[in-house]
Structure 1
Amino acid sequence: MFNLSAIQMVSGSDPKENLAQLKKLLAALSPASGQLVLLPENALCIANKGSYLALSEHLGDGYYQGQLSALAKHYQCYLVCGSFPIKSTIADKIFTTCLVFSPLGELISYYHKIHLFDAQVPDKTGLYKESDAFVPGQEVKLFDFDGGKDSVKVGLTICYDLRFPGLFQTLRSRGAAVLLVPAAFTQTTGQAHWLPLLQARAIENQCYIIAANQGGEHQGGRQTYGHSMIISPWGEVLKQLKYGEGSIQSSFEKSSLEKIRLAMPILAHNRFTYTNLIN
C-alpha cells in the first residue's frame, strides 16, 4: 500500500514567493517516506511568455530544480513538479516540463507536454495560446514508483493532455497503474469537463489518477478551477479539495487494482491501438 498525494496551489508570477508557499504546504502535508507528492502545472510561476523564458533552466541544472531536488530529499518523497519551463534548442521557445524527483533528490524522469492548449475560452483571459511560448514534446514517459515491497509504473501527463485518451491508453499499455494529471484547468472549462474527463480516464484505463490543479484567482484575473482529487480505478473520487491552497492524500491498494483488472480485462479486450510518431 502506497501513499498518493496532491498539493493544490494558487501560484502567482513570482517564483520565489511560490517556492516559499510550496515549502509551507509541504510542511503541512508532512509526507511519509516514499510518498508520491504531485504539484500542479505552473507550480512555481503562472504568468506570461516573458516570465516563463526568464525562469527557464536547462534540464537537470538550475536553482529552482535544485530547490525541488532538496525538498524531495528532505522529505524522502517522490516529488513531481507538475510543470516547469525547460530550455529548448529554439531561442524564444521552451518546453513546459513535468519533473520527477526521487526520495534521494535525483531527477529520475521528465515529460515535455505533448498537447499545447491553444483555445478560446469564455472567461477573463479569453485566448490561451501555449504554442506562442512552448514547443510540444514528442515522447510518452513513465517512471517506477518504488514502495519498498512493490513498485508500480506511473504515467506522466499535463493538463490539456487530459482531453486526448490515446495518450492515457498508451501509458496503460506500457504498464501504468497510476496516472498523474497536474493542471491549471480554467474555471470555465473545469466546471464543465474536469470531473467527467478524469473519471473517464480512470475508468477506461483502470488506473488510479492523481490530479493536482491550480485553485483560485491569479494575478491578472486568470481563474483556475481547483478541485484537485485522487480517483480510484473504479472511478470513485477518494479525496478532493475544491478551492484554495492545501493538500489531499489517499492510499494506493495494488490488490484492489488487480481485482478490478482481473474481473474486467479491458486491455486484453481492446480492439483498437493508437499508432503515431510519438515514441
Structure 2
Amino acid sequence: MRLAAIQLNARADRQRNLERCARLLARARQQGARLALLPENFAIMPENDTMRAAHIEDAASSRTLAFLRTQARTLGMYIIAGGLLLREGMSEKPYNRCVVIGPAGDDVAHYDKMHLFDAALEAGDYRESKLVQRGRRPVVARLPELRCGLSICYDLRFPELYRHYATRGCSLLTVSAAFTEQTGRAHWELLLRARAIENQCYVLAAAQWGAHPDGRRTWGHSMIVDPWGAVLACLPEGEGVIVADFAPAQLREVRRRLPALAHRRL
C-alpha cells in the first residue's frame, strides 16, 4: 500500500483550504497512494479563538466531513484527516477529531485528541483546553491491509499511546500535526523516529507549514518513517505531497531480527 502525507499552509478561508486539499489529494492519488493523511487544522486556521469558535461544526451535519467523503469516494482511496473541531450533540465544547474515511465514502473510525496542547512558549501561550474537550480513548482503525493507530499533534509526546497501539497489532501510526516552528525544530523528527523505532511501526506524519493568520508559524517537515527509523520521505517546506510504500515484509523482518516488542517487561 502506498502512503501519502499532505502538507498545507492553511489560512482562515475554509473554502480556499478545502480546494487546496482536493488538489493535493488528487496529486497523491495520481502518484499511486491508496491512503492519504491530512494535517491538523486542514480545513481552517482561524485568526483568533472567536473565529475558531464560530467555525465549530456539528458532527451530524458537518460540511467538511461531507467534503472528505466525496473526495474519498471520487478518488477511491482512504483519507485520514485530523484536527477538525466537531461538536457531538449538546456538548459544550467540541472535540479535536481525526476521521478515517474509506474509498466508498464510508466512515471507518474516528479518534478524539486525548492530550491537549497547553503550553507557554517564547512565541506565545497556547491553551487548547480552553476551547476543546479531550478525547477519552485511543482508537485503532482496522483497514483491510493493516491496523492503524491514530493520533494528533501533541499526542506525539506521549509514548504510552503508541505502545498501546503497537501491542494491539498496529503496523502504522499516523500523526496529523501543526507543530510550532520552535518545538518542531527541536523535537519533531526526533519524536517521529523514536515512535517508529520503539514500536517497530511505520509512522505517517502530515504537518502544517509556514506563517498563519493568527501570527503563529508551523514547522512543516511532513515525514514518512519506516520501522527501523529511516526517513523514507520528507517535505521540509511548502505545500505538497510525499509518498512511500508500506512494506509488510520489511516490517516483519525488522520485528524478527530485533524482537524488542516481544522482550518488553512492562
Greater shift in the superposed pair: 85-94 or 177-186: 85-94
Deviations 1:192-223 (A, max 9, x none): 00011110000000000001010111113210
Pair 1:229-2:229 in alignment:
no
Tell me the CA shift for residue 82 of structure 1: 1.6
Which residue is 1:46 aligned to?
Answer: 45
**Cα distance 1:20–1:12, how it changes in 2: closer, same or farther (>3 A)?**
same
CA contact (8 A) 1:84 1:98 kept: yes
Question: Counterpart amino acid of 2:135?
Answer: G
Question: What secondary structure is seen at the aligned counterpart in 2 of 1:167?
Answer: helix
**Cα distance 1:34–1:214, how it changes in 2: closer, same or farther (>3 A)?**
closer
Matched positions, count: 265
CA contact (8 A) 1:32 1:75 kept: no
TM-score by length of 1: 0.91
Deviations 1:169-204 (A, max 9, x none): 001111110000010000000000001111000000
Deviations 1:134-182 (A, max 9, x none): 0000111011222xxxx11000000000000000000111111000001
Rounded Cα–Cα distance in structure 2 between residues aligned with 1:212 and 1:157: 11
Where in structure 2 are there 5+ consecutive unaligned residues? none
- List structure 1 segments (4+ residues) > 6 angstroms apart after TM superposition: none
Pair 1:134-2:118 in alignment:
no
Question: What secondary structure is seen at the aligned counterpart in 1 of 2:209?
Answer: coil
CA contact (8 A) 1:31 1:77 kept: no
Which residue is 1:156 aligned to?
Answer: 150
Equivalence map 1:35-184=2 (5 Å) = 35-47=34-46, 48-88=48-88, 91-123=91-123, 126-146=124-144, 151-184=145-178
**Cα distance 1:31–1:161, how it changes in 2: closer, same or farther (>3 A)?**
farther
Aligned residue among 177, 183, 188 for 1:189 = 183
Which residue is 1:277 aligned to?
Answer: none
Question: Counterpart amino acid of 2:130?
Answer: D
Which residue is 2:24 aligned to?
Answer: 25
Tell me the CA shift for residue 32 of structure 1: 6.4
**Cα distance 1:34–1:182, how it changes in 2: closer, same or farther (>3 A)?**
same
Deviations 1:107-130 (A, max 9, x none): 11000000000001112xx00110
CA contact (8 A) 1:33 1:75 kept: no
Pair 1:15-2:14 in alignment:
yes
Question: Counterpart amino acid of 1:7?
Answer: I
Greater shift in the superposed pair: 225-234 or 44-53: 44-53
CA contact (8 A) 2:177 2:205 kept: yes
Question: Counterpart amino acid of 2:254?
Answer: I
Tell me the CA shift for residue 61 of structure 1: 3.1
Aligned residue among 267, 270, 276 for 2:261 = 267
Question: Counterpart amino acid of 1:226?
Answer: G
Rounded Cα–Cα distance in structure 2 between residues aligned with 1:34 and 1:61: 28
Where in structure 1 are there 5+ consecutive unaligned residues? 273-279
Deviations 1:30-77 (A, max 9, x none): 346771100000100112433333322333532111011000001000
TM-score by length of 2: 0.95
Tell me the CA shift for residue 92 of structure 1: 4.1
Tell me the CA shift for residue 90 of structure 1: 6.1
Rounded Cα–Cα distance in structure 2 between residues aligned with 1:144 and 1:112: 16
Which residue is 1:275 aligned to?
Answer: none
Question: Counterpart amino acid of 1:12?
Answer: R
**Cα distance 1:204–1:241, how it changes in 2: closer, same or farther (>3 A)?**
same
Question: What secondary structure is seen at the aligned counterpart in 2 of 1:197?
Answer: helix
Q: Percent identity of the aligned residues? A: 40
